[in-house]
Amino acid sequence: MIDGMKKTGNSKSICVRGRLMDMSRPRVMGILNVTPDSFFAGSRVQTEEAIADRARQMVTEGADIIDVGACSTRPGSEPVEEQEELRRLELALKTVRREVPDAVVSVDTFRPQVALRCVEEWGADIINDVGHGEEMFRMAARLRVPYILMSTEGDLLSMLKTWAGEVEKLRALGVADIILDPGFGFGKSLEQNHRLMGQLEDMQVMGLPLLVGISRKSMISKVLNRPAEECLNGTTVLNTMALMQGASILRVHDVRPAVEAVKLLLCNKH
Contact of 88 with 35, CB cutoff 8 Å = yes
Residue 25 CB partners (closer than 8 Å, separation 6+): 262, 266
User: What are the C-alpha distances in Å from 121 to residues 18, 73, 86, 99?
Assistant: 17, 24, 11, 17
The β-bridge partners of 107 are 68, 127
Q: Which long-range contacts (CB under 8 A, 24 or more apart) does 43-48 make?
A: 43/253, 46/88, 48/91, 48/95
Q: Is 217 a catalytic residue?
A: yes
**Crossing angle of the two packed helices 112-120 and 134-143, in degrees rounded to 10:** 10
Among 13, 179, 52, 186, smallest CA distance to 106 is for 179
Q: How far apart are CA 92 and CA 95, in angstroms?
A: 5
Among 226, 229, 228, 235, smallest CA distance to 256 is for 235
Which member of 54, 88, 188, 251 is catalytic? 251
E strands along 117-268, which residues? 126-129, 147-150, 178-181, 211-212, 249-252
Q: How far apart are CA 270 and CA 264, in angstroms?
A: 11
Which member of 87, 217, 222, 226 is catalytic? 217
Residues serving a catalytic function are 217, 251
